Amino acid sequence: MKRLAGKVALITGAAGGLGAEIATLFAGEGARVFVADVSREQGVVTAAAIGAAFLPLDVTSEEAWKNALAAVVGIAGRLDILVNNAGINIRKNIEEMPVESFDAMMAVNVRGPFLGIKHALPFMRAAGGGVIINMSSVCGLIGHRYTNETYTTTKGALTLLTKSVAVRYAKDNIRCNSIHPSTVDTALVQTMLKDPERRAERLGEVPLGRLATIADVAHAALYLASDEAAFLNGVALPVDGGATAD
Ligand SMILES: NC(=O)c1ccc[n+]([C@@H]2O[C@H](COP(=O)([O-])OP(=O)(O)OC[C@H]3O[C@@H](n4cnc5c(N)ncnc54)[C@H](O)[C@@H]3O)[C@@H](O)[C@H]2O)c1
């Protein structure tokens, strides 16, 4: 029996990076997957490769969320799993960060998941339950010295959005958990990792001595999405080789 057989999943930011790997793994485990992303060109290709559907979605737009969720329920009849994975990072310390960039990061990293949860909850309740997974970061658990304050602020907000949704909606059989990866080798960090000093910093903070892979993180998402994690609710799960244990 596949681990997500019969489940319907919407994953944001799934055109590439971590989201695409999660979409691929979920589809392989029997889920009907909707790849949602602001990037249509890459999203269509990713979705086609795994037999999923592509949904155009800018997570910062409430209207776009309503349309995307209506499309999922219109096509698949239900929504079981929402993965709020889309996120951005504008790498400037607080003194150099333009307020417009702060707002842009808050919009994608916090308003996005807020809107997704707000509009997914009624559909999940109607289906008798559901699973929400929010992609936070080690920066949502600690004041990470190598990361800008705005990113940690957004990811910290997501950590407690997760826990508060978890406690309020458990009565509806809706579980909500967050994942906290250390540095993963994706497009998001490519420029930063080209600098040998930055790369060494990132490797040095991980007791297991390597970067996370997209597979490390996607398998954590698969576990949380599956019924094997039926009693996990409000959990902030580090996938960080021990970085936040140090
Ligand atoms: N890569 C890392 O080191 C790392 C570590 C910890 C947490 N994360 C988090 O994991 C998540 C995925 O990161 P990634 O490394 O795969 O990033 P990525 O840049 O490779 O992919 C992000 C995806 O999100 C999409 N996206 C951006 N803005 C969007 C919007 N407004 N609406 C919809 N989609 C949008 C992009 O088009 C892209 O497909 C993010 O939330 C990120 O903060 C990443």
Question: Which domains does the chain show, CATH number per domain?
Answer: 8-237 (3.40.50.720)
Residue with tokens 């485990």, as numbered in its chain: 29
Ligand 1 atom nearest 155 alpha carbon: 43
Which tens digit of pLDDT belongs to each residue from 61-107? Answer: 999 999 999 999 999 999 999 999 999 999 999 999 999 999 999 99
146 is catalytic: no
Global pTM?
Answer: 0.98
The pLDDT tens digits of the residues spanning 137-196 come to: 999 999 999 999 999 999 999 999 999 999 999 999 999 999 999 999 898 898 889 999
Burial (CB < 10 A; 0-12, 13-18, 19+), residue 1, is exposed
Cβ atoms within 10 Å, residue 191: 10
What are the pocket residues of ligand 1 if the criterion is a CB atom closer than 6 Å to any ligand atom?
12-13, 15-19, 37-39, 57-60, 85-88, 108, 135, 137, 181, 183-184, 186-189
Amino acid making up residue 155 = K
Q: Strand (E) positions, 85-235?
A: 130-135, 174-181
- What is the number of alpha carbons within 13 Å of residue 205 lying toward its C-beta? 22
Do the Cβ atoms of 36 and 12 come closer than 8 Å?
Answer: yes
Q: Please tell me the distance between residue 137's alpha carbon and the centre of ligand 1 in angstroms.
A: 11
